[in-house]
Amino acid sequence: MSTAATRKAGFGAALWDYLTTVDHKKIAILYLVAGLFFFLLGGLEAVLIRIQLVLPDNEFISAQFYNELFTMHGTTMIFLAAMPLIFALMNAVVPLQIGARDVAFPFVNALGFWLFFFGGVLLNLSWFLGGAPDAGWTAYAPLSVFSEGHGVDFYAVGLQISGIGTLIGGINFIVTVINMRAPGMTYMRMPLFTWTAFIASVLILFAFPALTVGLFLLTFDRLFEANFFDPSMGGNAIIWEHLFWIFGHPEVYILILPAFGVFSDVISTFSKKRLFGYSSMVFATVLIAFIGFMVWAHHMFTVGLGPIANSIFAIATMAIAVPTGIKIFNWLFTMWGGNIRLTSPMVFALAFIPSFTIGGVTGVMLASAAADYQYHDTYFVVAHFHYVIVGGVVLGLFAGIIYWWPKMFGTMLNEKLNHWFFWLFFIGFHLTFFIQHFLGLMGMPRRYWKFQPNEGLDLFNLISSLGAIFMTVGTLVFLYNVIVTQAKGVKVSGDPWDGRTLEWSIASPPPYYNFKQTPLVRGLDALWIEKQENNGKMQPAEPLGDIHMPNNTFTPFMMSLGLFIAGIGVIYQVDNGAWWILGAIGFAITGGSMLYRSLKDDLGYHIHKEELTDDEGDGSNG
Ligand code: HEM
Ligand SMILES: [Cu+2]
């Protein structure tokens, strides 16, 4: 088998290539496109919410639709936008940063994407099939158990499918980082983005099973007459809250730690210095992840756990501020005396520091259990978590997307437009959410469809809604930039930012086998060392040889499609047992695909070393 066969032209061929790919770089693009699509969808939902709240006593949308909007907005943003965008960056970058040719299990990588994708599509089908879930993204029982219609069923089944994809995706990255590092790439030489992706994957491994279990119990309560969460039948609704937050709190660290990794790489690159306090950064990452697991009940202060439990969880929560503070100071010290270049990723990083710090401060305020009795379920909470999620995660995602765009696509987004995007989004973000702290302190409850005139809430709500328009315009500038850049298609070199880490040592986009010869890593910031000592050429760790590659396969798509079909059948069998036929068809497709995968040997193919004569991937910087 030859490699030339993989280079077909035409739209149909390109589509088929993406539907069957097992290449981490292409899977990254799939995650990016899907994640940005859902980001726009979640953004549209947010704008509709803010239009409803632009005036007091507004009748723009119905109360029921409003409930569906905030539920789907939160669910979409967390599970279908932020998570896949993190996976997009991890797929695009981690194998390159550690000098690997792919992730450990390319097939599983593709399967993880398709499961996420079909779960997300299933969830959103609910809009067209009688109503979306309406019990909040937290789906608290017993509200979620007794919610009418099929909305919450789509939530339970859709997130279940999607969540399995995330779980196996995370496991893949754990194995990849442990097993696939190039010679010399010791743990304490790994770039911070790889470190944080690794730790986030460990968090996924421990957090997502709690969600899996919770969603199964909810599914059984709603579809199969179980009573796990129905107090009148001996169930316990608080169990849902525990299961949800044992997953849900680590989830925010799954999102923020990779963003921290992006900022660490971006700040050191554009300060032209190695990261200050590298080992304390690694230690702080691990510590944040560890403590992050023990604080879930700070979401449950008002449930009635009692003063002792509340105090323990309050103190544990506040403790996270310590390693986080260490990180903030390390970023500042990295810039100190550095040769700073204000590229757009760097500007996002600079803006992140004060924004995220505000979110951290309100977090410590909320962690004070007694005070939380006042803040709980007010707009203060909404302001807080948007400060950390948008001011931290979203700024980090866009910094990372812009920073690694040249590596992913071989083109460079227009810097001027990037700065426009930044300013519109950043100003809009603070306009929208800063003022919500005060709305909350003035008593405006969260998730209310209307507020009344003469409550003194009009002006601040108006300003908040205006901010959302700014963010929308900013996002459109970004989209415009993407389209124009890709239409022009001006090629860039392998190292347009003067980078420090291994991904910048090969062409942009990299050849499908990544590294022609596995590089030899001689220290932290491996490429930078060679730039100082060896004209920027990585030294090979192995002689030129044949490269083993996996074949493309349609099986992951089919396995996921089967679960999608089965999910619809399982949801509707409550109305009519005949839907089990659809369920059976779906499970048969998945099971059949698994059987096919087990029985058929797929040994991949080799690229022979004679075919590797072109100068791609040899450290020549494209
Ligand atoms: C881009 C601009 C955004 C705007 C204008 C916006 C606006 C809103 C509004 C108005 C609410 C409803 C608050 C309530 O009534 O309780 C909300 C809730 C929420 N948002 Fe956003 N949001 C934005 C971005 C994001 C992002 C990027 C994320 C996560 C990655 C996110 C996650 C959430 C969550 C988890 C909720 C809670 C939903 C619930 O109460 O069940 N938002 N947002
Ligand atoms: Cu939490």
Atom from ligand 1 closest to the CA of residue 468: 5
Which atom of ligand 1 is nearest the CA belonging to 382? 13
Q: Which of the 8 DSSP states describes residue 505?
A: G
CATH number of the domain encompassing residue 302: 1.20.210.10
What are the per-10-residue average pLDDT scores of the chain (622 residues)?
Answer: 53 96 98 98 98 96 98 98 98 98 97 98 97 97 96 98 98 98 98 98 98 98 96 95 97 98 98 97 98 96 96 97 97 97 98 97 96 96 98 98 98 98 98 98 96 94 98 98 97 97 97 96 97 94 95 98 98 97 98 96 92 57 40
Residue 117 is assigned to a structural domain of this protein: yes
Per the structure block, which two tokens stand in for 318?
A: 């506040």
Proximal ligand: closest to the CA of 467: 1
Q: How much is the pTM?
A: 0.94
Asked whether residue 537 is domain-assigned, the answer is no
| Gap from CA of 73 to ligand 1 centroid (Å) | 6
Q: Distance from first CA to last CA of the chain, Å, rounded?
A: 27
CA of 128 to the centre of ligand 2 (A): 33
Euclidean distance between CA atoms 259 and 177, whole angstroms: 18
512-536 core/surface letters (b: 16 or more CB in 10 A; e: else): bbbbbbbbbbbebbbbbbbbeeeeb
| Ligand in closest contact with the CA of 249 | 2
* Residue 541 belongs to a domain: no
Whole-number Å distance, alpha carbon 428 to ligand 1 midpoint, is 14
For 618, the token pair is: 């040899």
Task: Report CA(262)–ligand 2 centroid distance (Å).
Answer: 22
DSSP-derived 3-state class of residue 365 = helix
The number of the ligand nearest the C-alpha atom of 52 reads 1
Q: Among 77, 377, 379, 444, which residue has the most ligand 1 atoms within 8 Å of its CB, making it the best to mutate?
A: 77
Protein residue with its CA nearest to atom 7 in ligand 1: 46
* 6 DSSP 8-state letter: G
Atom of ligand 1 nearest to the CA of 81: 30
194 domain-assigned: yes
- C-alpha of residue 114 to centroid of ligand 2, in Å: 29
Contacts of 12 (CB under 8 A, 6+ apart): none
- Residue partners of 614: CB distance under 8 A and separation at least 6: none
Q: Are 170 and 205 within 8 A, CB to CB?
A: yes
CA of 386 to the centre of ligand 1 (A): 7
Q: 201 C-alpha vs ligand 1 centroid, how far in Å?
A: 25
Distance 171 CA to ligand 2 centre (A): 23
In the block, tokens 């279990």 appear at 213
Give the angle 316-164-313 at the CA atoms, nearest 5°: 10
| Of 393, 368, 370, 321, nearest in space to 77 by CA | 393
Beta strand extents in 264-336 (DSSP E only): none
**pLDDT value for 22:** 97
Q: 172 CA to middle of ligand 2, Å?
A: 26
Ligand 1 pocket at CB < 6 A: 43, 46, 49-50, 70-71, 73-74, 77-78, 81-82, 136-137, 382, 386, 389-390, 393-394, 432, 446-447, 468, 471
Give domain status of residue 539, yes or no: no
Q: Write down the pLDDT at residue 407.
A: 98
How many distinct structural domains can be found in the chain?
1
Interatomic CA distance for residues 256 and 264, integer angstroms: 12
Kindly identify the ligand whose nearest atom is closest to the C-alpha of 144: 1
Please give the distance of CA 605 from its chain centroid, rounded to a whole number: 32
Give residue 89 CA to ligand 1 midpoint distance, Å. 23
Residue whose CB lies within 8 A of the most ligand 1 atoms, among 69, 70, 401, for a mutation test: 70
Q: How many CB atoms lie within 10 A of CB 218?
A: 28
75 Cα nearest atom in ligand 1: 35
The protein residue with its alpha carbon nearest to ligand 1, atom 19, reads 74
Extended strands (E) in 47-145: none
Q: Residue 419, class by beta-carbon neighbours within 10 Å (0-12 exposed, 13-18 middle, 19+ buried)?
A: middle
Q: Specify if 5 maps to a domain.
A: no
Ligand number with the minimum distance to the CA of 385: 1
Contact criterion met (CB below 8 Å) for 82 and 397: yes
Cα 385 to averaged position of ligand 1 atoms, centre (Å): 8
Ligand 1 atom 35: residue of nearest CA: 74
Nearest ligand 1 atom, CA 71: 41
Strand partners, 548: 606
Ligand 1 atom at shortest distance from the alpha carbon of 394 = 27
Which bound ligand lies closest to the C-alpha atom of 464? Answer: 1
Task: Please tell me the predicted confidence (pLDDT) of residue 35.
Answer: 98
- Whether 290 is covered by a domain: the verdict is yes
Domain annotation covers residue 33: yes
Structural domain range at position 394? 11-529+557-615
Mutating to test ligand 1, I would choose from 36, 72, 73 the residue with most ligand atoms within 8 A of its C-beta, which is 73
